[in-house]
Amino acid sequence: MYISEKAPAKINLTLDVLHKRPDGYHELEMVMTTVDLADRIDLIHTSHSSITLESSSGLVPQDERNLAYRAAALLKEKLGVKDGVHIYIHKHIPVAAGLAGGSSDAAATLRGLNRLWNLGLSDDQLAEIGAEIGSDVPFCVHAGTAVARGRGEILTPLPPPPPCWVVLAKPGHGVSTADVFGRLQVDQIEKHPSTEAMIEAIQNRDYEEINKHLGNVLEPVTMEMHPEVRKIKEKMLQFGADGVLMSGSGPTVFGLVKKEARAKRLVNGLKGFCGQVFAVRMLGVRYQGVLDQIRTK
Ligand code: ATP
């Protein structure tokens, strides 16, 4: 028996760092939403009790360092599960890109194993377990659109943003999230985004206001290390994006447009200029559909 579960990427419409906490973590405030670009996780039931993992991409670890493996191991340990699983990750989300690919793979593994192993846990319980793996995992368990506070684990759901196209452009290299946070000087942040204004814009389904309030305090930090992030932003605006921003700790830049034709123009304009370019739909809700089923071979 096996289960396939989609693991969608997220983008940050806002990312603010409020202060550094006594425990060393940063206090965050982020508005995140799911986009229609996903990895696929196949979870194959095995009679032996071990966890094994493979991926279509050589860029991610294929052993216990993989976040999906860690999710399965944690769930197995906490719930005392005797069964094993073989995890196959069909990787489509660029790696180390600010799109939460690894966190989403971990979250999809938790959701899928909850069904494969008949554990009966709620999404909130899965998100709590996911928080032990990484700050973005709780959001990815629920997916959709939400404000994330604390380290990212305190979630307030939001309605989906109005439909639009999201053009994602990633320079040829990845970025280490820890490295970017390590370089951030919280007391020298020049411009904080307004989380409240973004929440209001989403609640009002106001596309123009959403574009107006896009903001990420990590952008200048990553830009200093990788100046091509600025160049991609400039090119996106030149080719007609309504709003542009770096997602997460980067280096992926996204541009929002209303029409598919405009999205294609952006993709064509950026091709050859950066490593990977995609035009995908804004989803804002969790995937539902054929993949979300149990299959028997
Ligand atoms: P975030 O936006 O949550 O900071 P990211 O998109 O910047 O994440 P990931 O693609 O999740 O970054 O990769 C970060 C690191 O995690 C990489 O160095 C990668 O080797 C490791 N990793 C472990 N498991 C996975 C996985 N399943 N998919 C991608 N990367 C993984």
- pLDDT, tens digit (0-9, with 9 covering 90-100), for 133-163: 999 999 999 999 999 999 999 999 999 999 9
Q: Is residue 227 part of a domain?
A: yes
- Domain assignment present for residue 25? The answer is yes
CA–CA separation, 14 and 193 (whole Å): 6
Same domain, 9 and 154: yes
Supply the mean pLDDT for the chain.
93
Q: Report whether pLDDT(84) > 80.
A: yes
Residue at which a domain ends, from 103, 127, 159: 159
Separation CA 147–CA 269 (nearest Å): 32
Domain span including residue 137: 2-159
Which atom belonging to ligand 1 lies closest to the Cα atom of 60? Answer: 20
Among residues 132, 159, 186, which one ends one of the domains? Answer: 159
> What residue's CA is closest to ligand 1, atom 23?
66
- Structural domain includes residue 292: no
Instruction: Give how many domains the chain has, as a whole number.
Output: 2
Helix 101-116 and helix 123-130, axial crossing angle in degrees, nearest 10: 130
Does residue 296 carry a pLDDT above 90? Answer: no
For range 272-297, the mean pLDDT = 70
How does pLDDT run across 230-257, given as a tens digit for each residue? Answer: 999 999 999 999 999 999 999 999 999 9
Residue of the nearest CA to atom 25 in ligand 1? 102
For residue 293, what pLDDT is reported? Answer: 38
184 and 271, same domain (yes or no): yes
Q: Is residue 78 part of a domain?
A: yes
- Ligand 1 binding pocket includes 37 (Cβ within 6 Å): no
In a shared domain, residues 106 and 200: no
pLDDT of residue 81: 95
Q: What is the ipTM of this complex?
A: 0.94
pTM to 2 decimal places? 0.94
> Is the pLDDT reported for residue 184 higher than 80?
yes
What's the CATH number where 78 sits? 3.30.230.10
> In the prediction, which pLDDT does 53 show?
98
Could you tell me the distance, in angstroms and rounded to a whole number, from the CA of residue 61 to the centre of ligand 1?
9
Q: Are 135 and 151 in contact (CB under 8 A)?
A: yes
- C-alpha of residue 176 to centroid of ligand 1, in Å: 9
Q: Is residue 6 situated within a structural domain?
A: yes
Answer yes or no: do 130 and 202 share one domain: no
pLDDT in tens, 57-69: 989 999 999 999 9
Residue 288 has what pLDDT?
Answer: 61
Structural domain contains residue 114: yes
The reply to whether 237 falls in a domain is yes
CB 127 within 8 A of CB 138: yes
100 labelled binding-site residue: yes
Instruction: Look at residue 109 in the predicted model and tell me its pLDDT.
Output: 98
Integer angstrom CA distances of residue 87 from 56, 64, 76, 83, 128: 11, 11, 14, 13, 22
Domain end (from 144, 159, 174): 159
Is residue 193 within 6 Å of ligand 1 at its C-beta? no
Q: Is residue 73 part of a domain?
A: yes
User: Could you tell me which residues come within 8 angstroms of residue 10 by beta carbon, excluding any fewer than 6 positions away?
Assistant: 32, 33, 34, 35, 99, 100, 104, 136, 139, 140, 143, 247, 248
Instruction: Fill in the amino acid letter for 183.
Output: R
Q: Which two tokens stand for residue 278?
A: 């995609």
Same domain, 34 and 147: yes
- Contact partners, residue 70, CB within 8 Å, separation at least 6: 64, 106, 133
Catalytic residues: 10, 136
- CA atoms 185, 191, 193, 194: torsion sign: positive
Which tens digits make up the pLDDT trace of 15-46?
A: 999 999 999 899 999 999 999 999 999 999 99
